Amino acid sequence: MSIGVGTRDRHRNNADNVLSAGFYVRNFGISFITFMTQRHWIQNGHMMFVTANTLHRRLTFKDPAKARLAVESIYQTQTRFPFFLFSFVVMPDHCHILLSVPDNGSISRIMHDYKRSVSFQLGEGPIWQPRFDCQLVRNFHDVIPYIHANPVKAGLCEEVKDYLWSSASGKWDVIALDFMGGF
């Protein structure tokens, strides 16, 4: 039975030695529809570092009104598809989000809704690359400074707290990891 999930020797992701959805389809009979609704289903309950890039790396969010809309859309998506938000930054051509999805949630659904919402509200047609990158986080102490330092490294501000479209600015509501015992 061919399901079209890739070649036989692509059953493992060599980067982090995680079994792919195709492996589970072939060996455990999980249906095509089940795993295609969320490519990252194995990651629920873990902290994730997500990156979404604009189409052709256009500087869509260089405009402060568009950047504000992108940040507000994170919270709008969170009301429709609950998740724990720890840190984020909206850069001119991409965004980083550190979050955790409850066991019954879907990172794919969350990101689809977020990207769709931003695109719809801007009314500019497709603004995002079709996919997003999602990495499991082992040490949030390294990831949060990386997220917050993005605007400084790009020359958009001198200190992380000065960039308005970041959780480092203190103007946005995120879960403080200190209170979660490292989550």
Domains by residue range for the chain, with CATH = 1-36 (no CATH), 43-180 (3.30.70.1290)
Residue 46 pLDDT: 84
Per-residue model confidence (pLDDT) at position 138: 84
Say yes or no to pLDDT of 14 above 80.
no
Q: Residue 33: its pLDDT value, please?
A: 30
Q: Give the pLDDT of residue 120.
A: 96
The string of pLDDT tens digits covering residues 71-127 is 999 999 999 999 999 999 999 999 999 999 998 899 999 999 999 999 999 999 899
**What pLDDT score was predicted for residue 42?**
55
| Cβ contacts of 99 within 8 Å, gap of 6 or more | 47, 48, 50, 83, 84, 85, 86, 107, 110
Distance CA 74, CA 59 (A): 19
pLDDT for the residue numbered 178: 62
pLDDT tops 70 at residue 17 = no
- Beta carbons of 98 and 144 less than 8 angstroms apart: yes
pLDDT at residue number 139 = 83
Strand, helix or coil for residue 95: strand
Average pLDDT over residues 10-37: 40
State residue 60's pLDDT score. 97
Q: Report pLDDT for 43.
A: 62
